[in-house]
């Protein structure tokens, strides 16, 4: 796996610290909210569709069956970006309830457009820090899959504390996944892949579905992402890591 020499940070939008404060109370954050542009179509979707398909953040556990209007296996995608994978999973897995966590309004709006265009009733969205959702909002043993696809690698060593795959994340995932449930991580950063493997292999609550230290083939339920396509163009090797919780 090849790691890019550097990340181009030129002309990045300004960081929206006010939004970050609203979306989490955690002192160390695994995300950065930037002042990006929300299109007119996304704004319209947020106004019309978020009341129906959005779930407001709460510090208390909520009833997933009530939120979806039915009882079904629940898959959580963390940081779903523009929602393309989320919509694909919702369309191709009608018997699953698909829950998405994202902090950026533009991504929420884009996903809502996809929900409407595909007439999906099995997708719900939460705009908040995924860590607080896992720790406070989701009941124990409530999830069948947790997907963490191409999270920010925080490549500089001084920023490694901001990586989401840490002990508190594994604690929250182990609490909310049902026994036998799957944590699915993917990255195109070799060093972050090694980091993930080390953290997970040293946690006795998780079993590597492909055997100790190994990556897994991309399962059918995970479509190819735009980050993955970009990584392939740049010559990066993608690794999928699937772990079942005991």
pLDDT tens, position by position, 67-82:
999 999 999 999 999 9
Rounded to an integer, what distance in angstroms lies between the CA atom of residue 101 and that of residue 117?
20
Q: Which residues contact 42 (CB under 8 A, 6 or more apart)?
A: 105, 106, 108, 109, 110, 112, 113
- Choosing from 84, 152, 203, 207, which is the catalytic residue? 152
Quick check: 3 pLDDT over 50? no
Average pLDDT over residues 36-56: 95
Please determine, for residue 13, whether its predicted confidence score (pLDDT) is greater than 70. Answer: no
How confident is residue 1, by pLDDT bands cut at 50, 70 and 90? very low
Give the pLDDT band of residue 231 (cuts 50, 70, 90).
confident
Poorest-confidence range of 25-39, 101-115, 179-193, 216-230?
25-39
- Categorise residue 11: left if φ over 0, alpha if ψ from -120 to 50, beta otherwise: left
- Averaged pLDDT, 3-13: 41
Look at residue 124 and tell me whether its pLDDT is greater than 80. yes
CA distances from 50 to 11, 123, 148, 173, 204 (A): 31, 11, 23, 26, 39
Mean pLDDT across the chain: 89
Q: Is 152 a catalytic residue?
A: yes
Summarize the confidence of residues 54-67 as an average pLDDT.
96
- % the chain with pLDDT above 90: 74
Q: What is the pLDDT of residues 140-188, one digit of tens each?
A: 999 999 999 999 997 888 879 989 999 999 999 999 999 999 999 999 9
Predicted confidence band of residue 4 (pLDDT cuts 50, 70, 90): very low
Q: Mean pLDDT check: name the lowest of 12-26, 40-54, 196-210.
A: 12-26
Q: Which of 108, 103, 101 is nearest to 82 (CA)?
A: 108
Q: What is the mean pLDDT of residues 203-227?
A: 92
CATH number for the segment(s) 17-245: 3.40.50.150
**pTM (two decimals):** 0.87
pLDDT band (50, 70, 90) for residue 5:
very low
Residue range 123-137: average pLDDT?
Answer: 97
């Amino acid at each position: 796996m090849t790691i890019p020499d550097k990340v181009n940070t030129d002309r990045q939008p300004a960081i929206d610290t006010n939004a970050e404060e609203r979306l989490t109370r955690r002192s160390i954050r695994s995300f950065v909210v930037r002042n990006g542009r929300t299109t007119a179509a996304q704004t319209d979707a947020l106004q019309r569709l978020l009341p129906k398909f959005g779930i407001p953040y709460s510090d208390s556990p909520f009833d997933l069956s009530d939120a979806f209007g039915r009882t079904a296996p629940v898959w959580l995608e963390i940081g779903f970006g523009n929602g393309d994978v989320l919509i694909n999973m919702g369309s191709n897995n009608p018997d699953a309830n698909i829950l998405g966590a994202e902090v950026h309004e533009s991504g929420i709006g884009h996903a809502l457009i996809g929900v409407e265009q595909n007439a999906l009733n099995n997708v719900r969205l939460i705009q908040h820090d995924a860590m607080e959702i896992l720790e406070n909002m989701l009941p124990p043993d409530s999830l069948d899959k947790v997907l963490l696809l191409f999270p920010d690698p925080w490549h500089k060593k001084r920023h490694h504390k901001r990586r989401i795959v840490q002990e508190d994340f594994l604690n929250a995932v182990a609490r909310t996944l049902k026994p036998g449930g799957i944590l699915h991580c993917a990255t195109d950063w070799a060093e972050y892949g090694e980091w993930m493997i080390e953290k997970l292999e040293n946690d006795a609550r998780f079993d590597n579905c492909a055997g100790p230290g190994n990556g897994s083939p991309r399962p059918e339920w995970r479509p190819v992402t735009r980050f993955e396509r970009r990584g392939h163009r740049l010559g990066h090797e993608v690794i999928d890591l699937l772990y079942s919780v005991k």
